[in-house]
Structure 1
Amino acid sequence: MGRKILSLFLSGILLAGSASTASVSAEVIANEPYVIAMADTKKDEKADKGLEKSIKAVKTKIDIPKEYTDFNYYYYGSNTYTNNYWTLIWSNQKDYSYIEVSLDKDNNITYYFKYNGYDKDKSVPSYLKKELLDEAEDFIKQIAPKLYPKLEFVSSNYDGIYNNSYTYVFNRKENGIIFPDNLVTISVDAHTGEVKSAYLDWLYDANIPSAHSKITKEEAAKLIGENLNMKLTYKTDYYQIFEEGKSEIKKKAFLVYEPDIPYISIDAKSGEVYLTKSEWVEKKVDNPSKEAEEKDDVAKSPAGVLTEEEIAKIKELENLISKEKALEILRSNPYLYIDENLISFTASLSKSYGANDKESIYVWTLVLRDERPVDNDRDDYRAFAHATVDAKTGKILSFNASLKNNYDYQTGKWLPVKIKYDREYGQKVFEKFLNGQIKDRFKKTKLVDQGHDYIAYYKEDNAPVYGGYYYRYNRFNEGVEFSYNSIYGAIDGVSGKIYSYNCNWDDDIIFESPRNAMTDKDAFDHYISKDGFDLKYEVNVINQYDPDYKAHKAYYDYSEAYEIRLVYRPDIYPYYISPFTGEQLDDRGQVYKGSKTYAYNDIADTKENREILILADMNIGFEGENFNPDKLITVSEINQLLESLGYYTKDSEDAMDSSKLITREELAYSFIKRLGLENVAKLSEIYKTGYYDESHISSKYLGAVALAKGLKLFPNQDSNNFFPKNNISRREAVQLIINFVSVANESR
């Protein structure tokens, strides 16, 4: 089915401001004080009435506080990708709080967001996830009562320490079949229990087919297996190793099987195979006739550009080539396209870093320009080129040059151009260049993609004549593709020279061997057996447009229709399958264990355990079936909990042996460092803690303990002792960490 991307103008009308001369009656706002912003609505009574209806639709379902006296709105008319809708905003300028609500063309609420201004006391939950589920459900009943009976609760998750909210996800369900393309998500503040946001993705008035399936799940799996291949490929895992306070990046390429297509579903009634959920239907076939404008991107000086004095010193020490030599290397290369008018140039030397300092190289960045005066009446073309050259080896690292647009703007016609070279010739030229520049890398690659890169001109019958060809070579190891490393180039069919080249490569990556990997058929059997493959309803979007909309005197001619299909669909994620075990792998190559939830056999839902359960709801805890609350906690376990909350430290002392138990004074010091008060704490001679056992506190930690007491990070002891050398149980650690997070949030 033909497709074409149209350059359609946004048809939305933006109506916003702060005027108070709106023609909407005060009765609409239920006699509440308001300021309403509106463009000249006397010229658009339809928009006026639409706004009135939208305000009423919101205020019958949502209580707008009286102090939210400022009102603004946006109206968007239907365009190519967005149906018409209103966005209404009520705000309180005193504390910058506001409520924002979006509605579709039928005034169904599609989005809700409430901002209460900056609230310090909200970074730690006071509710458990299960305690706020009712709040989420009640809000759905309030704003979309007709939808609630068709919803099924799917999951809840903590949104992180800075949002401090729980998000509840509900899927649509029809005829007992899940409809994952339609859903409702509600976000509830974990501290106050107030709904913060809602998102409703719903297709109203949809024709839902029956749930009767003529195709079995096994038959669908067979059809998927016949149309989807599992591809053995490498993925990367860049992880950081901490060793004696220093960090080093290790590069690893691990093997996975993954589907070779991004989407597939099987019609449960007919067995038809679908490879897309969005169709573009042309009402009238047309050929593209507009040349893409050339981009003359000005090369920006890269970070770390060196001064002339620094360059001179580096040349003495590193024996680098001069910028003149780098330019000579570039100009003398017989394979590169360099316009004869590229007379002037600029050059800068910078240090390029890889994963660590050992991989750094010095690079000349060369920018070549055509500085002739431009005659605007003639639309004169001015050439441009950009290149990088290894300042030590003289190897060309990248190259990009502009090509002339062969369109005569005065006559409105394409100039005749003779394409002298075909794609096969261009490939030979590019490979000769690669053998001269990066032979060792090139021999580890295979050509994986090639095609036409640009249009030189159009013939009289409006048929395009292609003049450029591109080539992409991906790296392979033991016959397995590693797409993260590749070489790209493009050749001009007129001159037969290279106008684009770059290479992305890791020289120090460690490859997992594909020996003993299972077959792709076995990998598919493992893949299709994972959770996520089942019978579902899905939405197919049918986009219809007329490429000749201007000729038909229309602003645009576009319509959108929706088709609901009953399908078998493998919504399997993650979709990486281990080629050795058949297990699902995450993006680091580790065995996927599902969404991490912490539930412990030894932690009942009691007041005593509440803080442990809250931390678990924040997706933080310990692996295993038991929490072991009385077990003494180690340094590395404390670090793991704090880092899970986003509080890191680079101090090597925090990378101590995992078996070392942490003391109270050490934890106080760790807290203070994470609050950025370490230097203040070092002034230990100015501090007095007031604890009876102050003399037992190490001088190194005295300032930290005093600050921790002032900030109330540690609860007061009845004996007025701090017990600095005592170790800490897991239960006590949770309480102290929650205290720390509250204080950290207040200091932000």
Structure 2
Amino acid sequence: MLRMGYGLIMIVTLLLFNTINIFAIGELPNYKNNHEMTDQYLMEPGQNYIEPGLTPEMSREEAMDIVEKTLSKYVGIDLKNRDFQVGTEYRRDWQRPENYVWVVHLYYHDPAEYVTASITLDASKGAILELNYDAGQYTNVGRAPLSLTKSEARTRAEDYIRSLAPGKLEQSTKVESEAYSHYGSSTVYSFQYTGEFNNIPYDSNYIHITIDGTDGSLKSYNHRWDEETALPSMEGIIHKTEAESILEGDSEVELFYLPLRSDFHYEMVPENFRIAYRLKNHGMTGMIDAHSGKMLDWSGNEVDQKATKIDLSREQKEKIYGQASRPETRSQPLNQKDAETLAKEKLKNMIGDSITILTSQYTEGEGYWESSGRKTWTVEFSVEKEDEISNGRLMIDADTAEIIAYNQWDYHPITSLENDSETLSWEEGYEKAIELIETHHPYLIKEIRTEQSMTDGGLWGDRPEWISPEYNYHFPRIIGKAVYDENSIMVSIDRHTGEVKNYTVRWTPSLTLPTQEDLLKPDQALDLLKNQFTLELAYIRVNENVNTENPKERIRLVYRWRPSERSSLASYLDAKDGSFIDYSGRKIAVNDKESFEAAISGHWVERTAQLLAQQGILDIDGFEPDQSIARIDAIKMMVRLLENSGFQRYQVAGAEDVHFEDVMEQDEDFRFIQWAIRYGIIDNKPEIFHREADVSREEMTQMIVNLLGYKELSAATHIFTLDYNDADNISEEYWGAIAISKGLGLISAETFEFRPKEATTMAEMAEMLYQASSYLK
């Protein structure tokens, strides 16, 4: 058995748990009545700031005293040992505008290392509201390996919370916890605790904390809490089934084509697609007042205005289409002179005579986002107006002489709803947009979604919401019953002058798409996507005053959707087989956590398996520690380890073309084989890959040595010695890799037999990969 240093890992973990002793800061002084300010704490240019007109409740000196003690206790920083750059500001708390805070920023760096930290203090009570800390060495590459399990990190996090916010854990519920990469060099655990009243969450009472997954240190802390809150009564609220009915009425799905692109090259015109379902209108984000049943917006205020919708009738579309003809392809692309002449003609029709052509440029392929691989002429121009000169560009298809893109750039100060002097209504802007399509691309009118909707914005800050000087219309391509987002017509009309500011037609004439046959029905897809959510009651804090500096707070009791499993929430659904897929079109595994935990419980690899699973390196579905691992599963683990570590070694080029005879680009695991070739883990050979074949222990060792970048060194087999009892059974080609692995401690030194020809078990693969992760720096 390949038990590689498991006892050593446990010893290191025990040492880590004793490196930080957490004690309560103790009773902090109340500075509420201290409003005196001496000259030495006044603002220094470029460093210290006090909000104009305010006299701080706590002096800068007193704030810095708390900051110094806090940094020393929680992150081990002694401000006297280094020449820190320090900046301070006294201002309103952005999250609680009725309160004031001191914010202290610290920064230190030299050629070898850096330290950054910031602390936010309640200026009345001196309590720590926020703490952020990061430190590292510039010479490090990649991320430090995870050493703490999620439960160990949670214990550490709760110890910190008990010290920083006594009594708050007992009033909270754990909402979310996950492992993810942070600051590029650390793997951290994030824990979110939300306050509860009557077993109902209250979002405004929360603690968010992140813990370094390697050494258990505190990385960030954010805490806000209303100690006394007048809550709405539970009496008279609508029943949950009624609330669900109201919210479900706002939920529907749409069919769309999702491009599948290569990891190595962004294809402007993709070749492969999935047909999928997604939730419309941003998914299950609705919220209603639990008493009135009225819909609420993101801020918790009632939605008073309904969306204004406009569309063409079928007869209008038929009339436009009936007068259309598709452009013919020229025998030769436009030359520069003809392109500029054509551009002047089109611009004259759109703008007038005051046009000056500045430059013209010919491109082919994927030079511009709009062209989608076409041959184009891009003509830049200026427009002389009464009081200014504006610039623009016109992109023309060199084969068909069509307009692909038109842009005109003017400077207009952003206005607000209360002083907007629009001369064109939104509906009139829509008519102008349709006229453009009718003039330049009438043959596409039946291939786009012509319906448009507009919802008037609410209020923001102490004045009406800033609004764009333009009306924007987006007409996506419709193919059969499915949307294809990457093809569309976009139009922007100046609401003050009526001028066309943007007209872009991104269109790929020929696409190879999956058929729309044998698909899940929309109601089936809706149920599958909707079942990821749970309806819950919650208290939310709402500011009913548009002036955020003088808030008028109230608490609402609401019904809302909550993801049942936040970390595994899927936005898309394969319309053919009903499997969940991510934004790139890759299938999302449906993880059986209970079976995984039962399989590893009490096993020597339990802790390592947990650490790798939490990072997504180990696939928990079907993980049986003592069963042999298939070649493709071993490859997936190694590629995920490198991706998770932030390690990017392009050791071998040319993986775009995979030579293995049984590996197709459409295969789900194709990208893993591509990256394994690119990372140099395996060789790209014109032979059978044998996905499901067992991997011998000697072959597995060679792949991990390749992963670490020692492939060339391992080939020098004559410089290595091995003293295993069964060394004669080791193939000569793997001799160097096995010796390197033993020297690095990837294989336990107490192992007297290597058993080179035996199949590698899942547990052995996991343990050796975990040991290898410490060398990815």
Identify whether the pair has TM-score above 0.5, normalized to the shorter chain. yes
Deviation at 1:583, TM superposition (A): 8.3
1:168 corresponding residue in structure 2: 191
The 5 A counterparts of 1:338-487 are 338=351, 340-353=353-366, 360-369=373-382, 380-402=387-409, 423=429, 426-427=432-433, 429-435=435-441, 439=443, 441-449=444-452, 471-487=473-489
Deviation at 1:177, TM superposition (A): 0.9
Alignment CA distance shift 1:211-1:530 (3 Å): farther
Q: Which amino acid aligns with 2:87?
A: Y
Q: Is contact 1:111-1:198 (8 Å) kept?
A: yes
1:112 corresponding residue in structure 2: 131
Deviation at 1:48, TM superposition (A): 8.8
Alignment CA distance shift 1:493-1:150 (3 Å): closer
Matches of 2:176 and 2:411, distance apart in 1: 56
Q: Is contact 1:335-1:498 (8 Å) kept?
A: no
2:763 corresponding residue in structure 1: 731
1:657 corresponding residue in structure 2: 690
Where in structure 1 are there 5+ consecutive unaligned residues? 1-20, 26-34, 282-317, 408-412, 454-465, 546-556
Matches of 1:415 and 1:542, distance apart in 2: 27
Deviation at 1:532, TM superposition (A): 2.3
Alignment CA distance shift 1:728-1:432 (3 Å): same
Q: Is contact 1:384-1:401 (8 Å) kept?
A: yes
Q: Which amino acid aligns with 1:736?
A: M
Q: Is contact 1:268-1:566 (8 Å) kept?
A: yes
Query: SS at the partner of 2:544?
Result: strand
1:101 corresponding residue in structure 2: 119
Query: SS at the partner of 2:546?
Result: strand
Find the partner of 1:256 among 278, 283, 288.
278
Query: SS at the partner of 2:763?
Result: helix
After the TM superposition, which of the residue ranges 582-591 and 63-72 deviates more from structure 2?
582-591
After the TM superposition, which of the residue ranges 474-483 and 648-657 deviates more from structure 2?
648-657
Deviation at 1:404, TM superposition (A): 8.9
Cα-to-partner distance string for 1:333-365 (whole Å, 9 max, x where unaligned):
378525534324223333433999x97444333
Deviation at 1:187, TM superposition (A): 1.6
The 5 A counterparts of 1:299-338 are 320-333=333-346, 337-338=350-351
Q: Which amino acid aligns with 2:55?
A: K
After the TM superposition, which of the residue ranges 384-393 and 701-710 deviates more from structure 2?
701-710
Find the partner of 2:247 among 205, 221, 224.
224
1:458 corresponding residue in structure 2: none
1:77 corresponding residue in structure 2: 91
1:291 corresponding residue in structure 2: none
2:634 corresponding residue in structure 1: 638
Deviation at 1:502, TM superposition (A): 0.8
Matches of 1:261 and 1:632, distance apart in 2: 42
Query: SS at the partner of 2:721?
Result: coil
Find the partner of 2:172 among 147, 151, 159.
151
2:546 corresponding residue in structure 1: 544
Deviation at 1:445, TM superposition (A): 1.1
2:79 corresponding residue in structure 1: 68
Query: SS at the partner of 1:508?
Result: coil
Q: Which amino acid aligns with 1:562?
A: E
After the TM superposition, which of the residue ranges 144-153 and 247-256 deviates more from structure 2?
247-256
The 5 A counterparts of 1:600-615 are 600-605=597-602, 607=604, 609-615=606-612
1:130 corresponding residue in structure 2: 151
Identity %: 18
Alignment CA distance shift 1:124-1:257 (3 Å): closer
2:556 corresponding residue in structure 1: 565
Cα-to-partner distance string for 1:457-482 (whole Å, 9 max, x where unaligned):
xxxxxxxxx99865432222334544
Matches of 1:48 and 1:181, distance apart in 2: 24
Q: Is contact 1:335-1:429 (8 Å) kept?
A: no
2:616 matches 1:622: no
Matches of 2:575 and 2:757, distance apart in 1: 50
Cα-to-partner distance string for 1:406-442 (whole Å, 9 max, x where unaligned):
99xxxxx9999999x9557634531333336xx3x44
Deviation at 1:195, TM superposition (A): 2.2
Q: Which amino acid aligns with 1:729?
A: T
Alignment CA distance shift 1:230-1:579 (3 Å): farther
Deviation at 1:217, TM superposition (A): 0.8
Q: Is contact 1:598-1:620 (8 Å) kept?
A: no
Alignment CA distance shift 1:620-1:219 (3 Å): same
Alignment CA distance shift 1:225-1:141 (3 Å): same
Where in structure 2 are there 5+ consecutive unaligned residues? 1-37, 304-330, 457-467, 564-568, 644-674
Matches of 1:186 and 1:406, distance apart in 2: 41
1:238 corresponding residue in structure 2: 260
Q: Which amino acid aligns with 1:617?
A: Q
Q: Is contact 1:576-1:586 (8 Å) kept?
A: yes
Q: Which amino acid aligns with 1:615?
A: L
Query: SS at the partner of 2:611?
Result: helix
Deviation at 1:701, TM superposition (A): 5.7
Q: Which amino acid aligns with 1:96?
A: Y
Q: Is contact 1:256-1:578 (8 Å) kept?
A: no
1:743 corresponding residue in structure 2: 775
Deviation at 1:137, TM superposition (A): 0.9
CA RMSD of aligned residues (A): 5.0
Q: Is contact 1:61-1:142 (8 Å) kept?
A: no
Deviation at 1:53, TM superposition (A): 4.0
Query: SS at the partner of 2:72?
Result: coil
Q: Is contact 1:68-1:92 (8 Å) kept?
A: no
Matches of 1:448 and 1:580, distance apart in 2: 27
Count the aligned residue pairs: 632
Alignment CA distance shift 1:272-1:279 (3 Å): closer
